[in-house]
Structure 1
Amino acid sequence: MKESLGIIDDEGNLFGVINIIDALVVVFIIAVLVAGASLVLTGDGESSSAPTTGTTNVTLDLGTQPEYITSQISIGDSYSPSENADLTITDIYFTPQDESTRAVVRAELSAPSSGETIQYSGAPPRYGRQLEVLTETYSTKGTIRDVGGGSELTTTETKVVVRANLSETDARRLSEGQPIRVQGREVATIESVTTYGTNNPDKKTVFLGLTLQSVTNGGQQAFGETRIRPGASLSLPTGAGLVKGEITRVGAMTQRGQPATRDVKLQLSNVSPLLANSISPGMTESFGGETIARISAVQRENATIVTKGENGDIYEQAHPINQDVTFTANLSVRETDTGVTFKGQTLQQGRVVILDLGTVTIKATVVSGYQ
């Protein structure tokens, strides 16, 4: 009977075939190959799980900028604050702000993804975070006002009425259809102009109907830094220079109410004969071909004065010189749900109105005809 072979025979061969030392060398080589393959496979796994690049859009408020900066800002400008982060300007919005220009841009951020956001230059793009924009021609920074959405800023045509006090010369430089531009971009249009005289013949009160190119800021429409609401101040570079006014109405381009005319009885009390005789029928307050008021009838009589006698009695008598003037004027008014207005003010008995009649400016008291 043949004797079975052991694992290692007397000569040191494995299964009587391979020398044990050679077998160990083969095992070592196989282990090295397996380890190398493991490293290669592990490396492939790591590269496949490397962070992916994501993009998001933000609105950056650059604040007021000098002309030499705004003239350089262009769509397509880009900046890379780090190796794996990029910022590219995709839209631009300019508005006037006093003597300067306010710049707001839309920008696309590209950076490694992290959950539902990206890590742009080490942190997510959060509201209020400041980002730098450095190019070959300019350097600036802006505050994030909005995150997400499309690549363009959403602008809205917003109608407003603005009241401003101007010199007569500047008031005459304003006209309907006049565009308002900043850095060559149209940001507003003058749709209507209504001009009234004041107690200063060199000054005018002007109501401007405007269409503004506004954007949404914090859930409200804004024109630059101005939240569009009644009472807000607004600055506009026009053909008359920088016009500073106050928003009186939003959502319309005319004053409140329907236009109409009213014959209103007005009175001047205890005035000099020179002033009394300067008022006559046919006189008008007009501006730019539009008549605001026309006097149709005038009555004069000696003014009444009250004196006190030696015994303490009160006496009423005619003034020897001064006169009372009562006259009727056809006024261009607006009829509203709450009453009739003239030059933006409600007409009431006893209210003082100002008429610039060209040769004379008067302050007259409303007597009747205002309802």
Structure 2
Amino acid sequence: MELLDEHGRVFGIVNVIDLLVVLFVVAVAVAGIALVLGADGPDDTQAVNEGADVLINRTMTVDLGAHSPAAAALVEPETVQFGGTNATVTDVYRTPSDAGVRVVAALRVQGRMETNAFTVGGTAVRHGSTLQITTPSYQYDANVIGLDEAAAIPTTPVTATLTANVSTAVADAVEPGDEHRTAGQTVATIQAVSREPMSGNRERLTVRVEFVARETTAGPMYGNDPIRIGRQVGFATERYEFVGEVIEVES
């Protein structure tokens, strides 16, 4: 038997045009049913992904506040407790401040990425969050000041000229190459010195200093503030100390 007869009927029974119309109607009906069922039922893959707790590692920058030099020196790269969870201090940056030695640390911590936040030990961790960082030697509040950052705290040199009214004894002691060290770290180095006698036993001291500043989105920071003209900045060694005013910052 031929597939199509002389009248265009399939097997001599159904007209081919009628058959195509029937198949088209069936296809439309099936597509409509699938669309309705898809709208009513949830996407299983999406539901699983949205509901899953994903354990991930993140590196954040935390401000541990200002402490005595001895207390600041306790913070070193090591395993710590952060919010009751094991974490690792990967780098430490220290600078002098009015309240003592300010300590900033890079911290790698493991937590869970939940629906709306990264959590550590069940506590949401965001910019501005404060959790405790603990070791057998210290326990400090850690304020989160940066998320998803490098394991090493980025620093940059900032060179500035300071002037100070000091005694002749202090002026005699200041030399190029002198370093201001804080808890074992060099934070500033004198590169050049000039002196101008004043009345009495006083001299006008002008020094060119290279500071180790921490890079931030707001620009290089030394202590709590950027190095800028008019700022009063201290410099100290084991032999002397003075506070100078910034009169020039090299770009």
TM-score range, shorter chain: 0.7 to 0.9
| 1:142 CA displacement | 2.4
In structure 2, the residue matched to 1:64 is 66
Q: Distance in 1 between matches of 2:58 and 2:83?
A: 16
| 1:133 CA displacement | 0.8
SS at match of 1:220: coil
Q: In the TM superposition, what whole-angstrom CA distance separates every residue of 1:291-315 from its partner, at most 9, and x where no partner exists?
A: xxxxxxxxxxxxxxxxxxxxxxxxx
Q: In the TM superposition, what whole-angstrom CA distance separates every residue of 1:302-353 from its partner, at most 9, and x where no partner exists?
A: xxxxxxxxxxxxxxxxxxxxxxxxxxxxxxxxxxxxxxxxxxxxxxxxxxxx
Q: Distance in 2 between matches of 1:102 and 1:190?
A: 21
Distance 1:116 1:241, change over 3 A: farther
In structure 1, the residue matched to 2:81 is 79
The structure that has the greater radius of gyration is 1
**Does the alignment pair 1:244 with 2:246?**
no
On the 8 A contact 1:60/1:143 being kept in 2, the answer is yes
In structure 2, the residue matched to 1:42 is none
Report 1:20-169 matches (<5 A): 51-82=53-84, 85-98=85-98, 100-115=100-115, 118-169=118-169
Name the structure where helix makes up a greater proportion of residues: 2
The one-letter code matched in structure 1 to 2:201 is D
| 1:209 CA displacement | 0.4
Q: Distance in 2 between matches of 1:173 and 1:121?
A: 52
How many aligned positions are there? Answer: 202
| 1:218 CA displacement | 4.7
| 1:141 CA displacement | 1.1
Q: Distance in 2 between matches of 1:99 and 1:148?
A: 28
On the 8 A contact 1:60/1:145 being kept in 2, the answer is yes
Q: In the TM superposition, what whole-angstrom CA distance separates every residue of 1:71-128 from its partner, at most 9, and x where no partner exists?
A: 221101310534xx33321100111124721111111121112258521233432222
SS at match of 1:127: coil
Percent of counterpart pairs with the same letter?
21
| 1:177 CA displacement | 1.4
Report 1:272-291 matches (<5 A): none
SS at match of 1:156: strand
Report 1:310-321 matches (<5 A): none
On the 8 A contact 2:173/2:240 being kept in 1, the answer is no
Distance 1:186 1:59, change over 3 A: same
SS at match of 1:169: helix
Name the structure where strand makes up a greater proportion of residues: 1
| 1:186 CA displacement | 1.1
C-alpha root-mean-square deviation of aligned residues, in Å?
A: 2.1
On the 8 A contact 2:77/2:92 being kept in 1, the answer is yes
Q: Distance in 2 between matches of 1:80 and 1:144?
A: 11
On the 8 A contact 2:61/2:149 being kept in 1, the answer is no
What TM-score, normalized by structure 2, do the two folds share? Answer: 0.74
In structure 1, the residue matched to 2:17 is none
SS at match of 1:223: coil
Greater relative contact order (Cα < 8 A, sep 6+): 2
| 1:160 CA displacement | 0.7
On the 8 A contact 1:189/1:211 being kept in 2, the answer is yes
Segments of 5+ residues of structure 1 without an aligned counterpart are 1-45, 253-371
On the 8 A contact 1:145/1:217 being kept in 2, the answer is no
| 1:50 CA displacement | 5.1
What TM-score, normalized by structure 1, do the two folds share? Answer: 0.51
Q: Distance in 1 between matches of 2:165 and 2:99?
A: 18
SS at match of 2:233: strand
In structure 2, the residue matched to 1:317 is none
The one-letter code matched in structure 2 to 1:190 is I
In structure 1, the residue matched to 2:223 is 224
Segments of 5+ residues of structure 2 without an aligned counterpart are 1-47
